[in-house]
Structure 1
């Protein structure tokens, strides 16, 4: 595991921050150990708490770890209805800490990943969490991306079909390593169904690309207030319903039936409490907030499962290649088949919304 000293040259970073924020007596850097992608560092600069985002050590895919692209969208959203952290600076200069990086102010609050904060353990707050999540997703999809300078941020035409092709390609890469261990023939069936059922795309919007509960931060007040949307590295222009399908995949319904062991690991189990909204209720609220009648939801739900399964198969391939000893990556030996079953159940109407 990379350490703070592996990820940043403290003296070069101090000089960079002095240029943008002035001198500071207190300066400390700590690595945040959550997540599987870009590295996050917490920086104390006197009374100001900062966050640095930088690519991980080693070779990285240009698109998957382009932190400056992430900075571009967060910076563009500063004066919109989408809550994001305040940006400070970004640089392409790899001489400072070895890679491009950007700096933003750190938000105060909680990421709801494994448990609820005590202040949210009541029915009103639990209802408020779902409402904040949906209202913020609607705000993202309502951004006038041309007006905020993101008109060239993506290639939205044909986005949905390309998503199917992209994740098919990821499976092909992973299967070269994993099929000797075990095969998942259901994946081909799901891919063929997706290819045959690509819907006409709704009006294109800004798309977050990884919108779910543990990629936002809630402020410290007793009433839920979504203080900031994080992890924009997958953002682009495209089909907003891909965001909705992904969000609903990770939102465990209070009336959820039997869940796979993998879903119990990936999704917040506290969402099954009766005080939380059902997926159907959240879908209704999304339609109310956006004025969009959601069509072809089955496709977007299946696409979300397919995408997660592709990620899982890539994780498992890296585990078999000896590039990771993560127990989560190892779980994908059985986890991807479980996801494949999940996807087929949606296709066959055995998992209604």
Structure 2
């Protein structure tokens, strides 16, 4: 048995899962399970159940159901959004019975489409499709923020008051944890400067809406055929009630423009949307403001916070690499990429990377 086989066996008991699905969906003759390799947090399994294609979401083996891995919480929000204007995959079932595959998990129908990560499909390589990608993305974010979350049963889904301050505090603590080890290799004083500025400039008040928490271009799926319709939003594990401007700032941190200063070492963002056919960040913000009725106040704060969070993630990756807890080839590159992100956050604060 290879290491991959052993890990797969830790993720799923194929026979027990078949019994569960038979009870939920009825028996089939053809059945197969395989792992989606591109996930970085919760694990995703693909299931062929007869002619039906399903997706299983579960925490990594050995993880407790904390905020980052609570798949039943993720299921709750996706299930609540089924009959709303927010496009999500159809839900099938969820369970907290660990005797089946060793953890909580949920099942949804698999959708087929285009996820834009490193490049755009050839069918989207035209002005109309490129503009539509941007407008569909921001329109969908607006639909999340416009949702009457109480009417769909999400009134107790989070604590929206103080959300933004908690974000600043949380990511500062994550950085401090990472620095306990990484500072022995190199320090990143710029990040401390950025963190202090965020503390001093954190807005006292903000609107209260449903927030996705990780809304960006590669967490949505498009119909691969024109006119680039957005089919579904994925990865709701960080969803809660909070500050919609933080969601917008996060999305914008991944939306690069030709005018932006870049380095060859940046890992977290694609750059194909620097093509002039794509909407600018200003255009995306204006469209979001028009649809939600909110103004993107304190825009430098929210964009700097997003890049600060990216840098904190990178520094946590770097600590794990230094401690020998990961063989991901991306992690050692964080030694230089985190300082690059820190510099970018400072440029935003100082007005050198404008909206």
- TM-score w.r.t. the length of structure 1 is 0.97
Count of equivalent residues: 351
The alignment status of 1:347 with 2:349, answered yes or no, reads yes
2:106 is matched with which residue? 102
* Shift, 1:257, TM fit: 3.2
Q: Which residue of the other structure, out of 184, 190, 193, is the alignment partner of 1:189?
A: 193
Between 1:194-203 and 1:43-52, the stretch displaced more is 194-203
The alignment status of 1:215 with 2:224, answered yes or no, reads no
* Shift, 1:261, TM fit: 2.5
- Alpha carbons 2:32, 2:49 under 8 Å: kept: yes
1:259 is matched with which residue? 262
Between 1:122-131 and 1:5-14, the stretch displaced more is 5-14
1:176 is matched with which residue? 180
SS in 1 for 2:100: coil
* Shift, 1:160, TM fit: 0.6
1:318 is matched with which residue? 320
Q: Distance in 2 between matches of 1:217 and 1:10?
A: 28
Q: Which residue of the other structure, out of 144, 147, 165, is the alignment partner of 2:169?
A: 165
The alignment status of 1:18 with 2:22, answered yes or no, reads yes
* Shift, 1:60, TM fit: 4.6
Q: Residue by residue, what CA displacement relative to the aligned partner does 1:112-154 show, whole Å, maximum 9, x if unpaired?
A: 1111112111110000000000000000001111110011100
- Unpaired runs of 5+ residues, structure 1, are none
Q: Distance in 1 between matches of 2:264 and 2:156?
A: 41
Q: Distance in 2 between matches of 1:6 and 1:60?
A: 15
- TM-score w.r.t. the length of structure 2 is 0.96
Matches within 5 A, 1:115-154: 115-154=119-158
- Alpha carbons 1:126, 1:275 under 8 Å: kept: yes
1:289 is matched with which residue? 291
- Alpha carbons 1:84, 1:229 under 8 Å: kept: yes
Q: Distance in 2 between matches of 1:6 and 1:281?
A: 46
- Unpaired runs of 5+ residues, structure 2, are none
The alignment status of 1:242 with 2:239, answered yes or no, reads no
* Shift, 1:241, TM fit: 0.4
Q: Residue by residue, what CA displacement relative to the aligned partner does 1:75-107 show, whole Å, maximum 9, x if unpaired?
A: 000000000000000010111001110000011
1:73 is matched with which residue? 77
Q: Residue by residue, what CA displacement relative to the aligned partner does 1:252-282 show, whole Å, maximum 9, x if unpaired?
A: 11x333312343x321221111111111111
Q: Which residue of the other structure, out of 92, 95, 101, is the alignment partner of 1:91?
A: 95
Q: Distance in 1 between matches of 2:260 and 2:304?
A: 18
SS in 2 for 1:95: helix
